[in-house]
A = this chain, B = another copy of it.
């Protein structure tokens, strides 16, 4: 499947406002509303667009503490295994593996530092986890689309 410039324009418009009407998007990319809908459906089916989400201010919702936790394992762990491990932590917003010292990094969002400590204890209690190193976010400088 190939993605052309019109598709990219639609994606940009949807990243800016996922609730924009197809007609509004069409005005930006010079297409009729049904044509835009067909392309969006295709982008969704192909996986290029994974979904639409609300960008929330966690502070306003009472979740003010955000941290990046670098997790080290003993031995080799598969991405599949890591995904299973961290999916079981509801406070984990996202997780990924990196080139570098830690085996994985997990982004967590908690109500406060006490709550973060509890999450860290749970992560450290996972099988084969040898250690964690945590960077608490002091100030979110900016966030372009999704973070």
Contact = CB atoms under 8 A, between A and B. Distances in A.
A142 B106 CA distance: 10
B144 A147 contact: no
Given A8-B61, A61-B3, A61-B11, A96 B140 contact: yes
Contacts of A15: 53-54, 56
Interface stretch (A27-35, A118-126, A131-139): A131-139
8 contacts: A19-B19, A50-B56, A68-B98, A93-B143, A93-B147, A95-B141, A95-B142, A107-B147
Interface of A: 3, 7-8, 11, 14-19, 46-57, 60-62, 66, 68, 79, 82-83, 86-87, 92-100, 104-105, 107, 135-147
